Amino acid sequence: MILKNVIAAYNEAVFDTDRDKAFEVIHEAMAQGLTPEDIVFKVVIPAMELMIKAISEDFDANLAQHFMASQIASQVTDEMVALFQSSPETIGRIVIGTSHGDMHTLGKRIVSGCLRSLMIDVVDLGVNVSAERFVDAALEHDASIIAISSMMVHTARSEHGCLAVRQLLKERGLEDRIKIVVGGAPYTWDTELYKIVQADAWASDGVSAGKVIKDLIVGMRK
Ligand code: B12
């Protein structure tokens, strides 16, 4: 099955919200030589983008279909990222989660997968994570980065989100030891937003997140 056919068959399965078919297409593609990285970056993410385009034309009408499609994409991504190629040495450890009040999971999962493939240890705290939990978990796991995913403007700007994490780091004297990286749609819409919410850095996707995080970790070691 060549890539073009895999993409067409996977898109059709996702638009039909046929989970079993989507997995069948992916497994067949892998049997024929596509790597897990190819599947996430060349098949799953472009299909998500198509779906996002469709939903932006009629959000309410497509919401249920889109939710199902997101679930399929999340499940496929989870299976694939566990199989990403990796080298033996880890660079550092981060905790990641979706900010307080925010239930969007897919971006975070993709970022986690990319980071793991770049040999960054990732502790996933899930969705709707409070500021206290981010900081406590970073200490518990000896992580040097707190990565916060926010898909909605109000959760990105919320006083319970990144701003509260910054406040806690200040109060506990942890700012030299733990840095904050943010990402998600609101930050791509306003590339200065990360400064307003007092993060140390932001990244637009999983691959650039890897670079930004690696630079921060190396910077802290100097
Ligand atoms: C899928 C989706 C949903 C799904 C979520 C399913 C799931 N399991 O995740 C469902 C249907 C459940 C949903 C619900 C809602 N949604 Co919604 N949703 C979306 C949609 C269409 C796509 C998000 C997505 O999955 N993108 C695909 C992934 C791959 O991309 P990504 O998340 O951007 O992630 C990439 C980067 O941003 C970055 N990144 C992401 N996180 C991080 C973190 C770090 C640290 C870094 C460095 C980088 C990074 O890397 C990722 C990989 O490249 C967006 C529209 C959009 N254009 O984004 C709306 C959108 C985010 N949703 C929106 C809204 C309003 C809602 C609801 C309130 C709807 C409702 N009325 O109930 C609820 C909120 C529920 C809640 N409390 O969280 C709005 C937010 C509007 C705003 N201005 O804030 C949007 C923008 C739609 C719109 N245009 O109005 N949603």
pLDDT tens readout for residues 91-125? 899 999 999 999 998 888 878 877 876 778 899 99
Going from the Cα of 221 to the center of ligand 1, the distance in angstroms, rounded, reads 34
pLDDT over threshold 60, residue 87? no
pLDDT at 190: 97
Task: Compute the average pLDDT of residues 81-98.
Answer: 81
Residues 132 and 207 both lie in one domain:
yes
**Which residue range forms the structural domain that includes residue 22?**
3-81
The structural domain count of the chain equals 2
Residues 130 and 157 both lie in one domain:
yes
| CATH classification at residue 27 | 1.10.1240.10
Residues 189 and 217 both lie in one domain:
yes
Residues 101 and 199 both lie in one domain:
yes
Pick the closest to residue 201 from 186, 179, 220, 221 (CA basis): 179
Going from the Cα of 151 to the center of ligand 1, the distance in angstroms, rounded, reads 4
Place of tokens 């705290």: 125
Question: For 124, which DSSP code?
Answer: E
Q: Cα(133)–Cα(2) distance, rounded to whole angstroms?
A: 45
By alpha-carbon position, which residue is closest to atom 72 of ligand 1?
A: 63
By alpha-carbon position, which residue is closest to atom 53 of ligand 1?
A: 205
Could you tell me if 51 and 14 are in contact, meaning their C-beta atoms sit under 8 angstroms apart? yes
C-beta of 158 in contact with ligand 1 (< 6 A): no
C-beta of 104 in contact with ligand 1 (< 6 A): yes
Q: For residue 70, what pLDDT band results from cuts at 50, 70 and 90?
A: confident
Residues 180 and 147 both lie in one domain:
yes
